[in-house]
Amino acid sequence: MKRFKKLSFCAVLLTSLAFAGCGTPQAGTNEGGSTAEQKQAASSPQTMQVNLNTGEPNTIDPGLAEDIPSMSVARAAFDGLLRLNEKGELKEAVAEKYEVSEDGLTYTFHLRDSKWSNGDAVTAHDFEYAWKRVLDPVTASGYAYQLYYLKNGEAFNSKKAKAEDVGVKATDDKTLVVTLENPAPFFPELVASVTYFPVNQKVVEAGKEWASKPETYIGNGPFVLKKWEHKSVIEFEKNDSYWDKAKVKLSKLTVNMIEDANTELSMFEKGDLDWAGSPLGDLPLDALDALKDSGKMQSQATAGTYWYIFNTTKKPFDNKKIRQAFATAVNRKEISDNVVPFKSTPATGILPPTMALTPDGYIKDGDVETAKKLLAEGMKEAGLTELPELTIAYNTTEVNQRIATVIQDQWRKAFGIEVKLVNKENKVHREQMKEGNFTIGRASWIGDFNDPINFLEVFKGGLNTSKWENKEFLDLLAQSAKEGDVVKRKEILKKADAIVMDEMPAMPIYYFTYAWVKQDSVKDVVVDALGFIDFKYASNEKK
């Protein structure tokens, strides 16, 4: 809608989307094909095999999904009010049209006729139920804060308001009226995110395990879950009940769960996978140079930061200067050049380049002398004569293991200490991070929408595994939500960003660049600038 284009200041995101077509940059579009060719493609069954190298998804419940693997699976099975089309443009999906009030506080969505995969009609009530379910403290959704933009959303999540006070109301089956706490120009992007997807109330309330079995995983998206062999494979088939099924070319989408990058690449080379590498899988680090030289590898910078989280509730990282010392001693260029070439650029701040408020960053890379001085000052402040046992916890991948080993060596050389490495299966690692069972933990963040607030809010609420708290920082975030002037809002967020980087609850290491290979027959897989992948428009017409 034109109204959305005027409101959004995320033009950089929408104009920088990349698509995984072959040949020219336009290869991912549907332009130029004859009607006969399109009909032939539509009539020929097309399948696609991809890989999820993190193993079992943490969840495929859209209201609970917090990471790219979980969200990607949910995106295949569900559809929101809005969705990116094959050209990367934000368009109406389940919503046929919508209006925005002049003050930017009220959105009215008008739904088209669409169905759940079990034949039920999708209604505005499904969206109201789903959004309030995410906010309900009983649900314990880590992404509940993404709906704090709704009027009384945070108050309901904090048990200070009732569900009926939340600013989302189905006035009838086809009309959803949304009221915001404050104008949020990026709200349409949020509406297209997985957390804002609807769920079928009848199905959800029939059993807590509804999202763990194909027979009860009822969606409204391009594909239907048909098979789930846990820790092995997930299979989707085209959803013939989907309102936009004419755009869905794949008859079957198979998601394998191979955690070894070498095996993933080998399967690709044998033709057993149609796509290997980012954003769901991984490529062996030792193969990157050869793949790059061969011209087979494609890459794309994305709005994401790889970092280590400090547990600020445990010694010695309850001291700011000690956190600063460990962050300052890391040589990020060495990691980017030698450990993850073609997949990273050194990070000197929390915010990725597309959102950076201080482009030159905050950290002087590998400044060992300054790091030693900060450590000595911090230990004196903390009353420590020696450091306690330290561990780097990370989920098992080749990249994570190599980075941890390099940083372990850098800290050994800088401080003369020995840091232990502890690797866990992805789901266990995430749970232990949430429980605070770590001292230094590997994590990352990839934007849900292209605005600094999305990264800064990681350090408040349920996703703040560092447990760091700063009243001035929280006050600045609250002020930014109420500030309608774009320039003034930017200055407020810049101050908040500076506080995070001074306090250092997380140590940025590098900004993500995705790298992947695909079979020549694969076209129209959308990989957006935020790192999400969508197979709705994908085709794989093998000769």
For residues 539 and 250, is the Cβ–Cβ distance under 8 A? yes
Q: What is the mean pLDDT of residues 508-525?
A: 96
Tokens 């079992």 correspond to what residue? 56
Give φ, ψ of 2 to 5 degrees: -60, -35
For the chain, the average pLDDT equals 90
| CATH number of the structural domain 2-43+52-225 | 3.90.76.10
Which pTM was predicted?
Answer: 0.82
Confidence band of 43 (pLDDT split at 50, 70, 90): low
Supply the pLDDT for residue 457.
93
Which of the 8 DSSP states describes residue 387? P
Signed CA dihedral, 49, 53, 56, 60: sign only: negative
Domain 300-514: CATH architecture, name and number where available:
Roll (3.10)
Beta-strand relationship, 252-256 and 47-51: parallel
Residues 6+ apart with CB under 8 A from 86: 19, 28, 29, 30, 247, 524, 526, 537
* Interatomic CA distance for residues 338 and 331, integer angstroms: 11
Supply the pLDDT for residue 21.
35
Supply the pLDDT for residue 543.
75
Supply the pLDDT for residue 31.
35
* Alpha carbon distance, N-terminus to C-terminus of the chain: 39
Conformation bin of residue 467: beta by default, left when phi > 0, alpha when psi is -120 to 50: left
Supply the pLDDT for residue 18.
37
Supply the pLDDT for residue 381.
97
* Percent with pLDDT over 70 in the chain: 92
Taking every pair of Cα atoms in the chain, the longest distance, rounded to a whole number of angstroms, is 77
Q: How many CA atoms lie within 13 A of 83 on its CB side?
A: 24
pLDDT for 25 beyond 50: no
The gap from C-alpha 58 to its chain's centroid, in whole angstroms, comes to 13
Beta-strand relationship, 391-395 and 440-446: parallel
pLDDT for 123 beyond 60: yes
Confidence band of 364 (pLDDT split at 50, 70, 90): confident
Cis amide linkage into residue 279, ω under 30° from 0: yes
The gap from C-alpha 219 to its chain's centroid, in whole angstroms, comes to 20
CA-to-CA separations, 9 to 86, 108, 491, in angstroms, rounded? 21, 20, 16
Supply the pLDDT for residue 55.
85
Supply the pLDDT for residue 290.
95
pLDDT for 36 beyond 80: no
Q: What is the mean pLDDT of residues 327-337?
A: 96
pLDDT for 309 beyond 70: yes
Supply the pLDDT for residue 9.
31
Supply the pLDDT for residue 12.
35
Q: Where are the domains of the chain?
A: 2-43+52-225, 300-514
**What residue spans of 117-198 are helical by DSSP H?**
124-135, 153-157, 187-191
Q: What is the mean pLDDT of residues 110-129?
A: 98
Supply the pLDDT for residue 27.
29
Per residue in 47-99, pLDDT (tens digit) is 999 999 988 898 999 999 998 889 999 999 999 999 999 888 899 999 999 99
Supply the pLDDT for residue 28.
31
Supply the pLDDT for residue 33.
38
Q: What is the mean pLDDT of residues 348-368?
A: 92
Q: How many CA atoms lie within 13 A of 160 on its CB side?
A: 7
Confidence band of 19 (pLDDT split at 50, 70, 90): very low
Confidence band of 23 (pLDDT split at 50, 70, 90): very low
Per residue in 466-481, pLDDT (tens digit) is 999 999 999 999 999 8
For residues 238 and 228, is the Cβ–Cβ distance under 8 A? no
Tokens 């309900």 correspond to what residue? 136
